[in-house]
Amino acid sequence: MTINIIRHIISFILLALLQVFVLNNVNINGFINPQVFIMFLLLLPINAEIWLCLIAGFVSGAIMDGLSNTYGIHAFSGTALGYFRYYYIKYSLDKETIEKAVSPNIRNINFGWHLLYLGICSVFYHWLAFLMESFTFAGITIMSQKALISGLLAAFLMILIGFIFSKKTTNV
Protein backbone atom coordinates (compact mmCIF):
# COMPACT_ATOMS: atom_id res chain seq x y z
CA MET A 1 0.00 0.00 0.00
CA THR A 2 2.69 2.52 0.95
CA ILE A 3 4.73 1.49 -2.10
CA ASN A 4 1.77 2.41 -4.30
CA ILE A 5 1.32 5.77 -2.58
CA ILE A 6 5.01 6.52 -3.07
CA ARG A 7 4.72 5.45 -6.72
CA HIS A 8 1.80 7.85 -7.26
CA ILE A 9 3.64 10.71 -5.55
CA ILE A 10 6.73 10.12 -7.69
CA SER A 11 4.59 10.01 -10.83
CA PHE A 12 2.98 13.33 -9.86
CA ILE A 13 6.38 14.92 -9.28
CA LEU A 14 7.66 13.73 -12.66
CA LEU A 15 4.49 14.83 -14.47
CA ALA A 16 4.55 18.21 -12.72
CA LEU A 17 8.17 18.74 -13.74
CA LEU A 18 7.35 17.80 -17.33
CA GLN A 19 4.40 20.19 -17.23
CA VAL A 20 6.22 23.15 -15.71
CA PHE A 21 9.53 22.95 -17.55
CA VAL A 22 8.44 21.64 -20.96
CA LEU A 23 4.72 21.77 -21.71
CA ASN A 24 3.94 25.15 -20.17
CA ASN A 25 6.42 26.56 -22.68
CA VAL A 26 4.58 24.89 -25.59
CA ASN A 27 1.95 27.57 -25.86
CA ILE A 28 1.21 28.40 -29.48
CA ASN A 29 -0.39 31.87 -29.50
CA GLY A 30 -2.32 30.97 -26.35
CA PHE A 31 -4.23 28.40 -28.35
CA ILE A 32 -2.61 25.07 -27.45
CA ASN A 33 -1.57 24.41 -23.88
CA PRO A 34 -1.77 20.67 -23.00
CA GLN A 35 -1.95 19.80 -19.30
CA VAL A 36 -0.63 16.26 -18.85
CA PHE A 37 -0.11 16.44 -15.08
CA ILE A 38 -3.78 15.43 -14.76
CA MET A 39 -2.63 11.92 -15.70
CA PHE A 40 -1.74 11.54 -12.03
CA LEU A 41 -5.38 12.01 -11.09
CA LEU A 42 -6.72 9.91 -13.94
CA LEU A 43 -4.53 6.94 -13.00
CA LEU A 44 -5.63 6.69 -9.39
CA PRO A 45 -7.00 3.20 -8.68
CA ILE A 46 -10.40 2.54 -10.23
CA ASN A 47 -12.00 1.89 -6.85
CA ALA A 48 -10.66 5.10 -5.24
CA GLU A 49 -13.25 6.78 -3.04
CA ILE A 50 -14.67 10.13 -4.11
CA TRP A 51 -13.03 12.00 -1.21
CA LEU A 52 -9.61 10.77 -2.36
CA CYS A 53 -10.32 11.89 -5.94
CA LEU A 54 -11.44 15.33 -4.74
CA ILE A 55 -8.46 15.82 -2.43
CA ALA A 56 -5.98 14.56 -5.03
CA GLY A 57 -7.52 16.85 -7.65
CA PHE A 58 -7.43 19.89 -5.38
CA VAL A 59 -3.92 19.32 -4.03
CA SER A 60 -2.36 18.52 -7.41
CA GLY A 61 -4.14 21.51 -8.94
CA ALA A 62 -3.08 23.81 -6.12
CA ILE A 63 0.54 22.71 -6.52
CA MET A 64 0.36 23.38 -10.25
CA ASP A 65 -1.24 26.76 -9.55
CA GLY A 66 1.67 27.62 -7.32
CA LEU A 67 4.20 26.52 -9.91
CA SER A 68 2.40 28.20 -12.81
CA ASN A 69 1.05 31.36 -11.14
CA THR A 70 -2.51 30.60 -12.23
CA TYR A 71 -4.38 31.58 -9.05
CA GLY A 72 -6.74 28.67 -8.50
CA ILE A 73 -7.54 27.67 -12.08
CA HIS A 74 -5.93 24.24 -11.75
CA ALA A 75 -7.21 23.69 -8.20
CA PHE A 76 -10.80 24.29 -9.33
CA SER A 77 -10.45 22.26 -12.52
CA GLY A 78 -8.62 19.42 -10.75
CA THR A 79 -11.28 19.18 -8.06
CA ALA A 80 -14.04 19.13 -10.67
CA LEU A 81 -12.12 16.50 -12.64
CA GLY A 82 -11.79 14.35 -9.51
CA TYR A 83 -15.56 14.49 -9.07
CA PHE A 84 -16.23 13.83 -12.77
CA ARG A 85 -13.70 10.98 -12.88
CA TYR A 86 -15.31 9.17 -9.96
CA TYR A 87 -18.74 9.10 -11.58
CA TYR A 88 -17.42 8.44 -15.09
CA ILE A 89 -15.69 5.30 -13.85
CA LYS A 90 -18.64 4.28 -11.68
CA TYR A 91 -21.10 4.40 -14.57
CA SER A 92 -18.89 3.27 -17.46
CA LEU A 93 -17.27 0.15 -15.98
CA ASP A 94 -18.86 -3.00 -14.58
CA LYS A 95 -18.61 -3.85 -10.89
CA GLU A 96 -16.18 -6.73 -11.44
CA THR A 97 -13.67 -4.41 -13.11
CA ILE A 98 -14.06 -1.78 -10.37
CA GLU A 99 -13.57 -4.39 -7.63
CA LYS A 100 -10.22 -5.45 -9.14
CA ALA A 101 -8.78 -2.17 -7.81
CA VAL A 102 -6.39 -1.73 -10.72
CA SER A 103 -5.09 1.51 -12.07
CA PRO A 104 -6.96 2.49 -15.25
CA ASN A 105 -3.75 2.51 -17.25
CA ILE A 106 -3.39 1.46 -20.84
CA ARG A 107 -2.27 -2.07 -20.00
CA ASN A 108 -4.95 -2.97 -17.42
CA ILE A 109 -8.10 -1.70 -19.14
CA ASN A 110 -9.60 -2.11 -22.59
CA PHE A 111 -7.76 0.25 -24.97
CA GLY A 112 -10.98 1.72 -26.40
CA TRP A 113 -12.34 2.53 -22.96
CA HIS A 114 -8.99 3.98 -21.89
CA LEU A 115 -8.76 6.15 -24.99
CA LEU A 116 -12.28 7.50 -24.51
CA TYR A 117 -11.66 8.01 -20.76
CA LEU A 118 -8.49 10.05 -21.33
CA GLY A 119 -10.05 12.04 -24.16
CA ILE A 120 -13.28 12.96 -22.38
CA CYS A 121 -11.62 13.72 -19.04
CA SER A 122 -8.85 15.74 -20.66
CA VAL A 123 -11.20 17.85 -22.77
CA PHE A 124 -13.45 18.35 -19.71
CA TYR A 125 -10.48 19.53 -17.63
CA HIS A 126 -9.16 21.87 -20.32
CA TRP A 127 -12.62 23.32 -20.96
CA LEU A 128 -13.00 24.16 -17.26
CA ALA A 129 -9.47 25.57 -17.05
CA PHE A 130 -9.97 27.82 -20.09
CA LEU A 131 -13.38 28.88 -18.81
CA MET A 132 -11.88 29.86 -15.45
CA GLU A 133 -9.04 31.65 -17.20
CA SER A 134 -11.36 33.78 -19.31
CA PHE A 135 -14.07 33.89 -16.60
CA THR A 136 -16.73 34.76 -19.17
CA PHE A 137 -18.93 32.98 -21.66
CA ALA A 138 -18.09 35.57 -24.32
CA GLY A 139 -16.08 33.83 -27.01
CA ILE A 140 -17.15 30.40 -25.80
CA THR A 141 -16.71 28.86 -29.25
CA ILE A 142 -13.05 29.88 -29.46
CA MET A 143 -12.53 28.76 -25.86
CA SER A 144 -14.17 25.41 -26.65
CA GLN A 145 -11.93 24.97 -29.69
CA LYS A 146 -8.88 25.68 -27.54
CA ALA A 147 -10.08 23.16 -24.96
CA LEU A 148 -10.78 20.51 -27.59
CA ILE A 149 -7.40 20.87 -29.30
CA SER A 150 -5.42 21.13 -26.05
CA GLY A 151 -7.40 18.31 -24.45
CA LEU A 152 -6.95 15.94 -27.37
CA LEU A 153 -3.24 16.77 -27.60
CA ALA A 154 -2.89 16.15 -23.86
CA ALA A 155 -4.76 12.83 -24.20
CA PHE A 156 -2.42 11.82 -27.03
CA LEU A 157 0.62 12.70 -24.91
CA MET A 158 -0.82 10.79 -21.93
CA ILE A 159 -1.30 7.73 -24.15
CA LEU A 160 2.33 7.97 -25.27
CA ILE A 161 3.48 8.32 -21.67
CA GLY A 162 1.23 5.39 -20.75
CA PHE A 163 2.76 3.14 -23.39
CA ILE A 164 6.26 4.05 -22.28
CA PHE A 165 5.87 3.81 -18.49
CA SER A 166 2.92 1.58 -17.62
CA LYS A 167 3.07 -2.08 -16.78
CA LYS A 168 0.32 -4.61 -16.32
CA THR A 169 -0.58 -4.84 -12.65
CA THR A 170 -3.16 -6.67 -10.65
CA ASN A 171 -3.23 -4.33 -7.70
CA VAL A 172 -2.32 -0.64 -7.53
Q: In a structure prediction context, what are the per-residue pLDDT tens digits for the chain, which is 172 residues long?
A: 567 788 889 999 999 999 999 988 876 666 788 999 999 999 998 888 999 999 999 999 999 999 988 889 999 999 999 999 999 999 998 888 888 777 887 778 888 999 999 999 999 999 999 999 888 888 889 899 999 999 999 999 999 998 887 665 555 4
* C-alpha to C-alpha distance for 89 and 86, rounded to whole angstroms: 5
Query: Domains in the chain: how many in total?
Result: 1
- Structural domain of 130: 2-165
Buried-exposed string 77-111: b where 16+ CB fall within 10 A, e elsewhere: bbbbbbebbbebbeeebeeebeebebbbbbebbee
124: in domain: yes
- DSSP structure class, residue 101: T
172: in domain: no
